[in-house]
Structure 1
Amino acid sequence: MNILIIDDDCLVAGALKTILEAEKDFHVPACGHDGTDAVSLYREHRPDVLLMDIRMKEMSGLDASAEILKEFPDARILLLTTFSDDEYIIKSLKLGAKGYLLKQDYQNIVPAIRAIFSGQTVFGNEIVSKIPSLLQQTPSFHYEDFDIHDRELEIIELIAEGLSNKEIASRLYLSEGTVRNYLSSILDKLELRDRTQVAVFYYQHKA
């Protein structure tokens, strides 16, 4: 698995590279130090996962994420920061980042990368606890207005919990193919791009 590291602190970037390459199946082809590096290096290496700091001098990780996701909608981006800033969390969710971890949760970085690579969305416990209160609710919202039926709503709720297609299939006694079909239908009906946006949509409209 190829992982690109972007962090404006050279010592942090080097430490992250050491941690990741201790895993036999992880390879770090390059490290960058700001958002402009992230964009150019992503185009060059097309990594499986991009691990990126948020606060950087020339271009922030959020701005770089927006540019990368516009060009590569399937990009798997894990934002890593020392700040559990409410505005950062909301922006990262709405952009479609696959994860947001605090740097002090370094022991969770490797499992988070593996989870994101397998299609899951990962947010640290401190972040998850904040999400419902951060995202503004929309009054008088009804999924029925979008032709979302009960089974699809169940799947939306499980996606919001961070479950993968395989885990959802096991929970609901469905095949993974059936779950993928439901997810495709949900994305089409709600006019969303990916499962991260489904989770954001759910929390925005949770009663």
Structure 2
Amino acid sequence: MKVLIADDDVLVLDALKTILEKNNIEVKYSFTCGKDILETKAYKNVDVIILDIRMKEENGVDIAIEILKNDKNCKILLLTTFNDTKDIERGLKKGCLGIILKDNIESLIPSIHSVSFGNKVIDASLNLISTDNKNKKSFENLTKKENEILEKIAMGLSNKEIAKELFLSEGTVRNYVSIIFEKLNIENRTKACIFYYNKDNN
């Protein structure tokens, strides 16, 4: 997967690049200025665009809107250190697919993957949407073993690796995964990761 990231803080930018590259995500472009993204049209050559909302003399949401005006198929994930509801809701309304807090590093990778598939991702701690009681009950309905397997999925383990760690057959793990997906009303492992990282806030 190839991504573009923009943040006016060079230290944050370097930290993000390190985290992404350690997780086999290629940072094809990095910018400290949003206008450079528009001028170079680098957004056309990546799978996901990751933008800081607040950059010096720029608003990441404004940059995102301009990108989407030029290419409505771009998949944009917004990053913020503030619960700036007005800007966040404006970005989501205009077509950005996700928003997470910068300090929620553990959900960064699964959020990027989820956005790359066209799914919406909203950091639960931002309180932009009301708690979904159905999802909450779904977590409560998971057995201890199912929760344990969900945790392993969120860690990025394959069915074979989970089976080895939990001393189960691969077929048994596969059955557990199917049951977990059904209970949580999700279709893939990426969504399982997002649900897992947000469950304590739901």
Q: Distance in 2 between matches of 1:58 and 1:126?
A: 27
The 1:94–1:120 alpha-carbon spacing in structure 2 relative to 1, beyond 3 Å, is same
Q: 1:5 maps to which residue?
A: 5
Q: CA deviation at 1:41?
A: 4.4
Q: Distance in 1 between matches of 2:55 and 2:87?
A: 13
Q: CA deviation at 1:108?
A: 0.7
Structure with greater strand percent: 2
> What is the Cα-based RMSD across aligned positions, in Å?
2.4
Within a 5 Å distance, the mapping from 1:66-105 to structure 2 comes to 66-105=65-104
Q: CA deviation at 1:29?
A: 1.2
CA contact (8 A) 1:102 1:124 kept: yes
TM-score (norm 2): 0.61
Q: Which runs of 5 or more residues in structure 2 are unaligned?
A: 131-180, 187-202
1:34 lines up with 2:33 in the alignment? yes
Percent identity among equivalent residues? 39
CA contact (8 A) 1:4 1:47 kept: yes
CA contact (8 A) 2:44 2:74 kept: no
Q: CA deviation at 1:38?
A: 2.7
Q: Distance in 2 between matches of 1:4 and 1:44?
A: 7
Q: 2:154 maps to which residue?
A: none
Q: 1:54 maps to which residue?
A: 53
The 1:113–1:42 alpha-carbon spacing in structure 2 relative to 1, beyond 3 Å, is farther
Q: CA deviation at 1:97?
A: 0.5
Within a 5 Å distance, the mapping from 1:1-207 to structure 2 comes to 1-24=1-24, 26-43=25-42, 46-127=45-126, 129-131=127-129
Counterpart residue identity of residue 19, structure 1: I
Q: CA deviation at 1:56?
A: 1.0
Q: Deviations over 1:102-159 (max 9, x none)?
A: 00101111000001111210011113x3235xxxxxxxxxxxxxxxxxxxxxxxxxxx
Q: CA deviation at 1:88?
A: 1.6
